[in-house]
Amino acid sequence: MKPIFLVLFLISVLSCNTMDMDEPGNLVPKTVDLDSVLPSITINGTKLHAETFGDIHNPIIIFIPGGPGTDFCALINRQGTPKQSRYPDKRTLHNLGLNQLQDEYYCVFFEPRGAGLSPRFDKGSLTIQQYHDDLNAIIDFYLEKKYAETGIQDEKVYLAGHSFGGLFVTSFVNKYSTRVQDVILFEPTPLSNEVMDVLIQTSVFAMLNEKWLNEYLYSLEHLSYDDHCRADYHRILGFSGGFPELEYPEDVPLWRYGSFANIDLAKGTYEAEDYDVTSNLSQFSGRALFIKGGKTRALDDAGWNLQISYYPNHQSVTIPNTGHYMLWENPDLTVQEIRTFLSE
Amino acid sequence: MRKIITLIIVFVCIQSLNAQNTFNLDNKSSSIYLRSGIEPTVGFALGYMQSLTIQSIEKKLVLFGEISGPKKDFGFNNYETKVGGIINAYKYKNFGITYNLNFSTGHVSTKNFGSQKFAFANKLLIGYFKPKWYIVFTGEHEKIFANKITNTQYYRDYIYPEAKDGWYNGAGGNIQLGLETGLTIKELVDVRFELKIPKSEKFNSYYGSPAHINLIFAYRF
């Protein structure tokens, strides 16, 4: 019986001195609802993580990160420099990423509900329609703010989205085309099942000997997905390795990968049988700039041309020697392409 | 020579603890087994079982110990050890129920963190046992009661600088429901197969392989 007493003793000792894996702040950061120092806006009764750069007299660009579930950390950082704090006052370097555009534009970066440092929501509670409602309210919020502070009454904004953010932007434009001036899409997730069908992605079975996949799977013996923090903590293990054709660098920075937002929004969009967010894009009078990493192999030329063709008025540029995170690997050239596009 | 070849085959494959041995160990008191499969990644295990009879309750008790790990990067950073006991809870003709209680500890090392876990598991097998073969339904619940987490420098640099190292509770657990079948292929050698559907302990998705499969060779002596 001695081993049993030893185990019981171990349990009692540990129960007095352990931290809770599900408590935000221990293994993954607190979100804006729990951390008042983070910059935020309140939209539709929910606090969202949002940060702005530049003069509100200028045209507004709203940037949306990918995932679904990730944050805008990589969008305001750059490869080769230390990752900057999520707290604006603690940053030592500025103007590193897409926020370089702040000299000509009022740049808004935000994370949708459930994603990044925006609040966590239970699995099964997030939908793309909620995301649309929030984005409509965010557009209203900043247009009204602009009018209140400057007297300038803009009707439209620019939208920019990376990866799933590009899908989100397109699905929004597909429904609310009159609210958007132009769009900038950084390698958006396939916009329809037609493109999903030609997506080039290594099968998980072909990756069974990959280090990242073994770490991802074997660590499931150590925690389960029944709560937010441990799910977020674990899911990051699959962040960079799961899609080798996207050529993710190892060191893409991140604040939080919202696991349940990732699951819900994937299910509600590109995993759906009738998935297509392009059916009404012919009504969109604005232009679309597609930006591609030169090393990305997820779509061949035919697939990429199909993807961009959904927008009647489109342009496509490639950032050489970069992958899916071209905006972080070479923000200078990416910003230059955006400036050229928007100035035309 | 035949025994050596049998042992090599066993070592090339993998493990599982297995209540069937409480029946098959009637005439032999010890068994080693080797299991290979996907649970939760491609891996293997090696185990030893010792059969005892508890005179006071006239039941057979099998004590076991095993070590398992992933095929890739198996070692001190990625392994699991398990010790426990299996008892024939009920037997009527060919129908039987066995209960397995075990304690495990193991380590995983990832790009973001290292974790040493401590867990208990209960496993119930209900089914039909013949002398040369068996088929059972299995149900297993593993509860993780403590993890010692160490975050890597990579995780601090690129994701969360303030991540706290130390002892954690609340990692949850998992449930596996499945089928197991086995056959005696030689006088002292059994081969077994198990298929299990993993879920979190709250019956949420496991977010790993949708099914776990194992092939097991056991040698009695």
pLDDT, mean over chain A: 94
pLDDT exceeding 70 applies to what percent of chain A?
95
User: In this complex, how many residue pairs, one in chain A and one in chain B, have their CB atoms less than 8 Å apart?
Assistant: 155
What band does A12 get if pLDDT is binned at 50, 70 and 90?
low
How far is A133 from chain B, CA to nearest CA, in Å?
Answer: 28
pLDDT of residue A230: 94
SS (H, E, C) B103-126: EEEEEEECCCEEEEEEEEEEEEEE
pLDDT at A229 over 60: yes
Please enumerate in sequence order all residues whose Cβ is within 8 A of that of B158, keeping only pairs 6 or more positions apart, or say none: A83, A251, A252, A253, A254
Q: Which residues contact A225 (CB under 8 A, 6 or more apart)?
A: A231, A234, A259, B172, B200, B204, B205, B206, B207
Give me the residue from B160, B205, B206 closest to A29, CB to CB. B160
In chain A, what residues touch B43 (CB-CB under 8 Å)?
218
* Distance from the A90 Cα atom to the nearest Cα atom in chain B, whole angstroms: 13
Contact A222 B115 (CB under 8 A): yes
The pLDDT tens digits for A119-128 are: 999 999 999 9
pLDDT of res. A5: 65
A190: its two tokens = 């396939």
Looking at the complex, does the CB of residue A196 fall below 8 Å from at least one CB of chain B? no
Q: What is the distance between the alpha carbons of residues A184 and A169, in angstroms, rounded to a whole number? A: 9
Q: How many CB atoms lie within 10 A of CB B169?
A: 18
Strand pairing report for A288-293 and A314-319 = parallel
Q: Are the C-beta atoms of B42 and B72 separated by less than 8 Å?
A: yes
Looking at this predicted complex, what is its ipTM? 0.92
Pick from B79, B69, B169, B88: which is nearest to B134 by CA? B88
The domain ranges of chain B are: 2-220
Q: Beta partners for A248?
A: none
pLDDT given for residue A17 in this prediction: 77
Span A275-291, average pLDDT: 97
The answer to whether the Cα torsion of A125, A130, A134, A135 is positive or negative is positive
- Decide: residue A301, CB within 10 A, 0-12 exposed, 13-18 middle, 19+ buried: exposed
State the number of CA atoms in the 13 A half-sphere of A263 facing the CB: 17
- Each residue's pLDDT expressed in tens, for chain B with a length of 221 residues: 444 444 433 333 323 334 344 545 555 689 999 999 999 999 999 999 998 888 887 778 899 999 999 999 999 999 999 999 999 888 899 999 999 999 999 999 999 999 999 999 999 999 999 988 999 999 999 999 999 999 999 999 999 999 999 999 989 999 999 999 999 998 889 999 999 999 999 998 888 999 999 999 999 88
- Between A32 and A11, name the one with better pLDDT: A32
CB-based contact (8 Å) between B191 and chain A?
Answer: no
Which residues of chain A lie closer than 8 angstroms to B108, CB-CB? 215, 218-219, 221-222
Q: Which DSSP string corresponds to A234-289?
A: HHGGGTTTS-GGG---TT---S---HHHHHHHHHHTTTSTT-BS-TTGGG--S-EE
Closest CA to B51 of B83, B82, B85, B81: B85
Q: Beta-carbon neighbour count of residue A87 at 10 Å?
A: 11
Quick one: which of A153, A50, A60, A158 has its CA closest to A106?
A60
Q: Which residues of chain B neighbour A253 with C-beta distances below 8 Å?
A: 158-159
Q: What share of chain A is helix, strand, coil (3-state, %, to 5)?
A: 40, 15, 45
pLDDT score for B88: 85
pLDDT band at A6 (very low <50, low <70, confident <90, very high): low
What does the alpha-carbon distance between residue A118 and residue A197 come to, in Å, rounded to a whole number? 32
Q: What is the DSSP string of chain B?
A: -HHHHHHHHHHHSB----TTHHHHTTS-SEEEEEEEEESSSEEEEEEEEEEEEETTTTEEEEEEEEEEEESTT-BTTBEEEEEEEEEEEEEETTEEEEEEEEEEEEEEE-SSEEEEEEEEEEEEEEEEE-SSEEEEEEEEEEEEEEEEEEE-HHHHHHT-TTPPPEEEE---EEEEEEEEEEEEEETTEEEEEEEEEEEETTS-B-SS-S-EEEEEEEEE-
Whether B171 has its CB under 8 Å from any CB of chain A: the answer is yes
Distance from the Cα of A28 to chain B's closest Cα (Å) equals 7
Tokens representing residue B190 in the block:
């059994």
Per residue in B30-71, pLDDT (tens digit) is: 999 999 999 999 999 999 999 888 888 777 889 999 999 999
This prediction has a pTM of 0.90
Q: Tell me the CATH number for domain B2-220.
A: 2.40.128
Which of B72, B82, B142, B196 to mutate against chain A (most A CBs within 10 Å)? Answer: B72
